[in-house]
Copies of this chain bind each other. A is one copy, B any other.
Amino acid sequence: MRIVVLAGGIGGARFLRGLKQAVGPEGEITVIGNTGDDIHLFGLKVCPDLDTVMYTLGGGIHEEQGWGRADESFSIKAEMKEYGVGPEWFGLGDRDFATHIVRTQMLGAGYPLSAVTEALCARWQPGVRLLPMSDDRVETHVVTDVDGERKAVHFQEYWVKHHALIPAHAIVPVGAETAKPAPGVLEALAEADVILFPPSNPVVSVGTILAVPGIRRAVAQSAAPVIGLSPIIGGAPVRGMADKVLEAVGVETTAAAVAKRYGSDLIDGWLVDEADEASVAEVEAAGIPCRAVPLWMTDVDASAAMARAALDFAEAVRKP
């Protein structure tokens, strides 16, 4: 069973851990990771979503936090403050810095991000094939107001520095339109038996991956069933600040509205939480088969049950 997952950070990584448990060694999982959150900090290339997937599946994640490394120290951060070199709002630990140093060195030596990611995964053995969505630079910017002036800031500045508390007028994945899918991405999508959208942010995670034209086209044209899991439960994001970015793109923060944003040309099935059972009819009215199942990733078993529900649903909607 070849499964392709379009993954953002924490939600995607935790879902993948469940999926791995659900399918066991027979499942061949390819993860297409969001790189729109990538940022250059201190001259280093930082890939938060790829790293969150890699650390989570490789056993190095800070469990409670959901991102960054376990058993972490912050000497470099303290030194940067002494040097007066910012930004202070992005909390990179010493162990995490090592990953960014290795990555930046390899990129500087001419390797594309996909090859670098493969090299990093040789250590972490995440048990999935992790591909960046593109080797080209794509950077999600948020059009906002800072000190009374309208301007675009890097997504991380909006999200981590301002905690999504400044207005978001638009979300722009700069560079996505001309980005080419990374090597292996289109092949994986073409050969997939199932394609899954985990309960990741539909705008700045899965949405950014789909903003790469070749990827959207390959997903839409795939013969394999495409199943999405709602990141919205009871009108609120399970985690993070998805409501803010949904508002920016004119989409209601409901499980049904997110399904309709993906649309029936992209997804073949949509899972909502049991709390949103009432919205099943609304989703199906939009031509998207829908089921209500528990969608709280409280632990790995719960995530695995969600993954099984998604795979079962894929079989149910699979075209003969």
Q: How far is the CA of A101 from the CA of B76 in the complex (A)?
A: 9
Q: Which residues of A from 102 to 116 have beta carbons under 8 Å from B?
A: 102, 104-105, 108-109
Please give, as numbers and ranges, the residues of chain B lying within 8 Å of A104 by CB-CB distance: 43
Q: A76-B101, A94-B75, A98-B79 are in contact. Are A84 and B43 (CB under 8 A)?
A: no
- Apart from A43-B108, A43-B109, what 17 extra A-B contacts exist at CB < 8 Å? A43-B101, A44-B101, A73-B75, A75-B75, A75-B98, A76-B94, A76-B97, A76-B98, A76-B101, A79-B95, A79-B98, A80-B98, A80-B102, A83-B102, A85-B102, A94-B94, A97-B97
Question: Oligomeric state, in number of copies?
Answer: 2
Q: How far is the CA of A94 from the CA of B83 in the complex (A)?
A: 14
CB within 8 A of A73: which of B80, B94, B105? B94
Interface string of A27-66 (1 = CB under 8 A from B): 0000000000000001110000000000000000000000
Closest CB-CB distance, A94 to chain B, in whole Å?
A: 4
Q: How far is the CA of A104 from the CA of B97 in the complex (A)?
A: 14
Chain B residue nearest in CB terms to A98:
B79
What 3 A-B pairs are tightest by C-beta distance, nearest first?
A: A79-B98, A43-B105, A75-B94
